[in-house]
Amino acid sequence: VDGGGGGGGGSGRLSVGPPLCDAQLLDASEERVRSAILSFDTRDLTSVVLAYSLAHAGSPELFAVLHKACIDRCRQLTMEQVASLGWSFATIRLGASFFKEAQFDVLEKLNQLTIPAVCDVLWSFCAARHRDPHFFKALFSVLVPSRVAGDPRCALLCPAILDIRTHLPEMDPEGLERYSGYAQDAFYRSQLAALPPPAAMRGLAEALQDAGVVFESAFDVDGYVADFVITNVEELGAEDEEEEDEDDGVRRQVAVLYHSAPRTLHRRTGEPLGQTLMRQRHLKDRDFGVVNLWDKAWDELDRPARAAFLRPRLLVAARRPRQAAGTAA
């Protein structure tokens, strides 16, 4: 966890560095955790959930047990524990059940949340797609601009606001724009820290060059960072008349994203993390085509095979669907 990841108690986590705990130790402890879970108090329960989610570890069976235990004890949780668990379950993508259960308690005890924890709660409810404008307005009412600005623990406020502006466009657009400005720089820095390893970035750049496209790396999209974005989309497939006939030549920018565990994928299941899907959603909301590359398949290809693998996928991603092409103007 980087400096912007924050300390304990739901304080603005951004899991972009090495895990706090050895994943092998966590895996080996699963059976014991499941057998001891009834003896855990809420502090123990929160700590265990947080440890597994920060490491992007843990089996679906373990998280099912932990998730149920947290829902059963929801009324006993402190607000900082709710913020920590919300971030954890949104990261591992366990659905909206916990958030529906916790929402009333959060409203009732709003003044017990720290400012970074409020940002965590906003992000986690957005990531879980449990969007209630009245709930969000209550959370924003306790945010203090001077406490948000420059605090890396509040970085998750930026993607939360991007999501809210997309799905709840009538909700105080000027106020949301202002708050987004306070948190965007910190979020952008955290995104840069989460870029693929240098060797992977070099290999992708070589493949894009060989595919004959013009691109930018570490491309800023409202604070999110796309690994690569193709900038000569209008030229993609222009030599292929049949291709043009299929989609009437309307193109969109294409983002190329490289995925690996535990950086963007769950270490055990290989599923995308909540943060990964939030970026994907925002890129699509901004009308980017997206090409996702999984490291296990990509890294096995040699250089010529990578360019041959990429180019048809770039062509497909650049093609704006006819319905979208007719409504985007």
Confidence of residue 325 (pLDDT cuts 50, 70, 90): very low
The 3-state DSSP class for residue 140 equals helix
Confidence of residue 11 (pLDDT cuts 50, 70, 90): low
Is residue 10 over pLDDT 50?
Answer: no
Q: Which of 19-28, 213-222, 285-294, 312-321 has the lowest mean pLDDT?
A: 19-28
Amino acid at 50: L
Residues 29-68 have pLDDT tens digits of 999 999 999 999 999 999 999 999 999 999 999 999 999 9
Percentage of the residues of the chain whose pLDDT score is greater than 90: 81
Its pTM stands at 0.89
- The pair phi, psi for residue 293, each rounded to 5°, is -120, 120
Encode burial over 104-134: b for 16+ CB neighbours within 10 A, e otherwise: ebbeeebeebbbbbbbbbbbbbbbbebbeee
Which positions ≥6 away from 178 have C-beta within 8 Å?
145
Is residue 116 over pLDDT 60?
Answer: yes
Q: How many Cβ atoms are within 10 Å of 68's Cβ, its own excluded?
A: 13
Is residue 159 over pLDDT 70?
Answer: yes
pLDDT, greater one: 8 or 257: 257
Q: Which of 63-67, 144-148, 167-171, 218-222 has the lowest mean pLDDT?
A: 144-148
Is residue 282 over pLDDT 80?
Answer: yes
Residues 243-261 have pLDDT tens digits of 444 555 578 999 999 999 9
pLDDT, greater one: 16 or 163: 163
Contact 82, 106 (CB under 8 A): yes
DSSP codes of every residue in 252-290 = --EEEEEE-TTTTB-TTT-PBPHHHHHHHHHHHHTT-EE
Contact 165, 173 (CB under 8 A): yes
Token pair, residue 57, equals 């570890």
pLDDT confidence of residue 1: 30
Confidence of residue 2 (pLDDT cuts 50, 70, 90): very low
The span from the CA of 27 to the CA of 311, in Å, is: 39
The span from the CA of 316 to the CA of 237, in Å, is: 10
DSSP label of 19: -
The span from the CA of 104 to the CA of 95, in Å, is: 17
* Pick from 247, 273, 248, 251: nearest CA to 260: 273
